[in-house]
Structure formats: C-alpha cells, structure tokens
Structure 1
Amino acid sequence: MTEPLLDVRGLDVHLGHGAGQAHILKGVDLSVRPGTTVGLVGESGSGKSTLAKALVGQVRPTGGSILFAGRETSGLRARDLWQLRRRIQMVPQDPYSSLDPRRTIGEAIAEAIDPRRSSIRRHRTTIRHWLAQVSLDADAAERYPHEFSGGQRQRIAIARALAVEPDLVIADEITSALDLTTQAEILNLLSRLRKDLGLTMLFISHNLAVVRHVSDEVVVLYHGDVVESGPVDTVFETPGHGYTQKLLDSVPGGPGFRLEAV
C-alpha cells in the first residue's frame, strides 16, 4: 500500500471564543494516496471548507495532526507555509471572485506560476500549455474574466492551479454554481486530467453523484464528524450510515444516477 501524501489524524478545529466558540471538526481522520481522488461530502455547515482551510494553513487546528508528504504542517514558519500552499493548490467554488477583473487571464496564470516574476512573455509557453489542457484557446490569455462564462472561468481556475504543478489539488464545490450540462463538462475534464496527469485530489462537494463521477474513495462528514468512509462504489451501493443514505436519497434518479448519462 502506497504511503499517503496527505494523512489527517484526529483533527479538531474550534472557531470563535468564549461562549460563542464552536467545535467545527471533531477528530477527523482522512488520507489521500498519490494518484487518487478522495471525495469529501456533506451538507453546508458540515465542516468541509474548514477542513480545506486547515489543510493549507488558513485555519489553525486545536488538536490532532496533518501530515503532508510525511511532514507535520502545524507550526510552520511563514516561508515553509508559503511553500506548502504552492504544493497544495485550491480551486475555488467561485472563480470569478478569485480573479482580478483588471488583469488578463494570462497575467493571472503567470502570477500563480511565479509571483515574483509574473511576466506573460516569460511564461507564455507554459500559459498556453495549461489553457490547452483545459480546452481553451491560446487567445484566452489576452482576455479578461468578465469575457468568459461560468464554466470557462472554472476551467481557467483549474489551469491556474495546475500551472503551479502542485502535489495535491483541493477542489472546493467547484461545480455547485454550474448548470447540469456545464457541471458534467467540468467533471469529464477532471476525469481526463486525472488520467493524463495522475492528479492527486481532494474533491469537496455536497453532491454524492458528483463525487462518484470523479472519486476513488469517499469520506462522509456530518456536523464535523466522519460518519462513513471507503471506496466510492461500496459506500454508494451499501451505505452504512443513515446520513449517507439521506444524501443518496437526495440524488436525482436515486443511488444509481450517474452524470455520464446527462
């Protein structure tokens, strides 16, 4: 068995202070092996995004451990934390808000590649390569975010994350704001990139049908607790927890529904 690239054990996160403090993550265990995709599923408020922020150092855990490539990530110095965030790239739910409307797409990708020397001329070949990987023309580099549809902006966000050549990609609800047809296109793109590039990914969603499309394994999070985990088909076909069954029942068409059929 390959050693995990990401190994989370007993992770606790509290947010707030005093009487207003909330226990968001409660002893979460999760691991992601190289070349695999783990789906993290749960309703809004279950702690999914808090976990993602903890993985990249934006939220400080109050207990447990996060090992990345065998190294504990808590207490990292600023420079080491910057390097960690380059090795772990997040694709956001809303790519438009994460793109500077005053900068071209080429400038945004160049800055991700090298924030200190973000010249489009210097990185032109790399920018064109990653735009092609997400099925966008080279001239997209000269255009601005508002000139693209939501699905195209999500492709740009994926290209920008991959241009850094990260070890782990965290996709945080990246299809939730898209219509079903565009959603399926983005998921098919991710499936192709997984195959072509051997991506390692944590795919966060509230939708089990979406998770099934791209994931090897699934972790079900409920009010900060992991209530079920395992191979995605096993969890889909023989769920062991009532909350997982509830999520499956909410999928259009029932547990057998697959986005490939859309």
Structure 2
Amino acid sequence: MADAPAIAVRDLEVTYGWGRSTTRVLHGVDLDVAKGNTVAVVGESGSGKSTLAKALVGVVRPSAGSVRIGGTDVTGARGARRTELRRKVQMIPQDPYSSLDPRRTIGAALAEAVDPRRANIGRHQDEIVQWLETVRMPADTVKRYPHELSGGQRQRVAIARGLIVRPEVVIADEITSALDVSVQAEILRLIVRLRVELGLTMVFISHNLAVVRQISDEVVVLYRGDVVEQGTAAQVYAAPRHEYTRALLNAVPGAPGFDIEPSRREVA
C-alpha cells in the first residue's frame, strides 16, 4: 500500500438515465495519479471531464469499475466509512459563488469544512486565518460574505476550503474558466506555489491546453468519454499521437495572459 498511487481508477464507467434513455458518459477510463503529481484531464465540453471529477469525489456513483484512494477501494464504501474516505479527496469547484452559502460568512464556511458536525469559528479561528493567508487573503476575510468578494477572491477562498481538511488528493474542476485572463494567471501562480509548498497531489480538469501545459506533470485527453491520449506533459505537447489532441493544440491561442511566472505581487 505504501507504493500505491494516490488515486487509481480502473475501467471506470458512468451511465446517466434509465432504460432506453441511458447515456454512457465514461467508457472504461483508467487513470493513475502518483503522490505529489498533477495530472491534467483535458477535453472539450461533453468529453466527460466533469463527470470524472464527480466520480472521483463520490458525487456520481460509477456503473462499473473502481476508484482506489491510497490503495483502498472506495467504490462500495458506505456510511461513515465512505464519508471518511471521501474527505481524503476534495473538490475545488468551477463556480465558488454557487458553492458558498450567501447567508454565511467566509469564516463559517471554512469552519464547517474543518468540522461539519460542530462548525465553530472561534474554535478554529487560528487555522482558518492561517489558510486564508496561505492563499493571499487578509485575516478579516473571516467576517465577510461571498457577495463582498471578487471572483478571484472567492476562488482563493474555495482553494483554502478544499485544502483546510488536508486532503490526499485535490480535484480542481475548471477553476479558472469563469475568471478574466489576468485573474486566471494569478490563480494559476497560486496553484503552482501551493503545489511546491504543500506537495499537493492534484487532478486538474480543464479544456484549455495553454493552461495545463504550465501546471501538469502528466496529461490525459478525454474525447466523448474515452481516453484517447495519455503521457507526460512534455510528450503530449511535443508529439501528440491522436488527431483530437492535435486539434486541441492547434486551437490554443498564444495568449500572454497565461504566463504564470511569479509576479512581484504574488511573491511579495
């Protein structure tokens, strides 16, 4: 078990609907994520990326196959055991505003992440402030509400909320797609820094190859629920084998906004 991948997915299938109206969204997907690595899952809308992310965190139940976390099969886990195992894999959502209760402060949201049963800001104040500062948010953010923050600030809070439980794996689902280009670059710089400082293990879901090129160790390309290409980032970008991967690469704009070299503000 000591050498097991952080996440190992085997022959994963996900089907939506019933009877004649069923749609198979994932077709026998295999995926390994080594500890400390970032694996990018890339594909256009409808490729099955978000369904895979939901299956990894237990929101969607597979119709076949298995998901192992640290060598333990969690596919059939139930009750308290399932909750315990699933806390080891945390999702950073695409739209943090919809995942934050507008009636609760940021401090309350983070306290609930630490202890869902007995959320208490006072008990976890120091830890909450520490994580806010880790994502470059001021300590007084604990008293603010989601609508008082910008999109980039809410995404930083979502990152802090995902990491505060110290998960074994982080699933980042299109976390920059709803942001302006300049803010995307700031969030990517933050993720790169946290990867190094915290030794994060991450599955990074994106449709944008310009983004994942700068953040991933390995790349998996999904097309209509099938893995059509998989390899190190260097291999996939230098010599893509599948025509779909080549089409995605040809569509990448040369946007300077995706330069994630540390800015003066970020390293200050």
* TM-score of the two chains, using structure 2 as the length reference: 0.94
Deviation at residue 87 of structure 1 after TM alignment: 0.8
| Equivalent residues in 2 for 1:36-115, closer than 5 Å | 36-115=37-116
Partner of 1:247: 248
> Does structure 2 retain, via aligned residues, the 8 Å contact 1:40–1:203?
yes
- d(CA) in 2 for partners of 1:95, 1:84: 23
Q: How does 1:199-238 map to 2 (within 5 A)?
A: 199-238=200-239
Moved over 3 A (4+): none
SS in 1 for 2:94: coil
Asked if 1:259 is matched to 2:259, the reply is yes
- Report the Cα distance in structure 1 between the residues aligned to 2:173 and 2:31, rounded to whole angstroms: 16
Structure 1 residue 2 displacement after superposition = 4.7
Deviations 1:18-40 (A, max 9, x none): 12111110010111011110000
Where structure 2 has 5 or more consecutive residues not aligned to the other structure, the ranges are: 264-268
* Structure 1 equivalent of residue 31 of structure 2: 30
Identity of aligned residues (%): 60
Instruction: Find the aligned partners of 1:169 and 1:225 in 2 and give their Cα distance.
Output: 22
- Contact 2:182/2:257, CA 8 A, preserved across alignment: no
Structure 2 CA distance, aligned partners of 1:172 and 1:82? 21
DSSP-derived class of the 1:252 partner? coil
Deviations 1:84-135 (A, max 9, x none): 2211100000000000011110010000000122111100000010000000
Distance of 2:86 and 2:213 partners within structure 1? 27
Q: Tell me if structure 2 keeps the 8 A contact 1:2–1:34.
A: no
Give me the TM-score of the superposition, normalised by structure 1: 0.96
> Which runs of 5 or more residues in structure 1 are unaligned?
none
Q: Secondary structure at the match of 1:89?
A: strand
Q: Distance in 1 between matches of 2:107 and 2:93?
A: 18
User: Would you say how many aligned residue pairs link Structure 1 and Structure 2?
Assistant: 261
User: What is the root-mean-square deviation in Å for CA atoms of aligned residues?
Assistant: 1.7
| C-alpha distance in structure 2 between counterparts of 1:44 and 1:84, whole Å | 29
| Residue number in structure 2 paired with 1:125 | 126
**1:175-195, Cα deviation, whole Å (9 max, x unpaired):** 000111000000000000000
Matched residue type, 1:206: H
